[in-house]
Amino acid sequence: EKGGHEYFMLKEIEEQPEALANTLRGHFESGRIILDEQRISDQDLRDVDKVFVVACGSAYHSGLVAKYAIEHWTRLPVEVELASEFRYRDPVLDRDTLVVAVSQSGETADTLEAVRHAREQKARVLAVCNTNGAQIPRESDAVLYTHAGPEIGVASTKAFLAQIAANYLVGLALAQARGTKYPDEVAREFAELEAMPAAVQKVLSTVEQTRDLGRRIADSRAVLFLGRHVGFPVALEGALKLKELAYMHAEGFAAGELKHGPIALIEDGLPVVVVMPSPKGRAVLHSKLVSNISEIQARGARTIVIAEEGDETVRPFADELIEVPAVPTLLQPLVSTVPLQVLAAEIARARGYDVDKPRNLAKSVTVE
Ligand code: M6R
Say what the pLDDT of residue 147 is: 96
Say what the pLDDT of residue 314 is: 96
Average pLDDT over residues 32-45: 87
Q: For the residues of 198-238, what is the DSSP string, one character each?
A: HHHHHHHTTHHHHHHHHHHHTT-SEEEEEE-TTHHHHHHHH
For 197, list phi and psi in degrees, rounded to 5. -55, -40
Q: What is the mean pLDDT of the chain?
A: 95
The pLDDT of residue 338 is above 80:
yes
Give the CA count within 13 Å in the CB-facing half-sphere of 42.
7
Say what the pLDDT of residue 349 is: 95
Say what the pLDDT of residue 42 is: 86
pLDDT band at 270 (very low <50, low <70, confident <90, very high): very high
Rounded to whole angstroms, how far apart are CA atoms 237 and 251? 9
- Other CB atoms within a 10 A radius of the CB of residue 51 amount to 24
Residue pLDDT, tens place only, 51-60: 999 999 999 9
As a whole-number percent, the residues of the chain with pLDDT over 70 amount to 100
Average pLDDT over residues 298-316: 96
Which ipTM value was assigned to this complex?
A: 0.97
Rounded to whole angstroms, how far apart are CA atoms 106 and 98? 18
pTM of this prediction exceeds 0.90: yes
Q: Are 21 and 200 in contact (CB under 8 A)?
A: no
Q: In what order do the strands lie in the sheet with 124-129?
A: 37-38, 142-145, 124-129, 97-103, 50-55, 78-82
Give me ligand 1 centre to Cα 284, in Å. 33
Active site residues: 363
The pLDDT of residue 3 is above 80:
no
Average pLDDT over residues 67-72: 98
Residue pLDDT, tens place only, 95-123: 999 999 999 999 999 999 999 999 999 99
| Helix, coil or strand: residue 117 | helix
The pLDDT of residue 1 is above 80:
no
The pLDDT of residue 6 is above 90:
no
Shortest-distance atom of ligand 1 to CA 136: 4
Rounded to whole angstroms, how far apart are CA atoms 170 and 17? 20
Q: Are 341 and 324 in contact (CB under 8 A)?
A: no
Q: Are 272 and 247 in contact (CB under 8 A)?
A: no
Residue pLDDT, tens place only, 221-265: 999 999 999 999 999 999 999 999 999 999 999 999 999 999 999
The pLDDT of residue 7 is above 90:
no
Rounded to whole angstroms, how far apart are CA atoms 368 and 361? 14
Say what the pLDDT of residue 233 is: 98
Give me ligand 1 centre to Cα 76, in Å. 26
Ligand 1 site residues (CB inside 6 A) read 56-59, 103-105, 108, 111, 154-156, 240, 244, 364-365
Give the CA count within 13 Å in the CB-facing half-sphere of 160.
32
Give me ligand 1 centre to Cα 67, in Å. 18
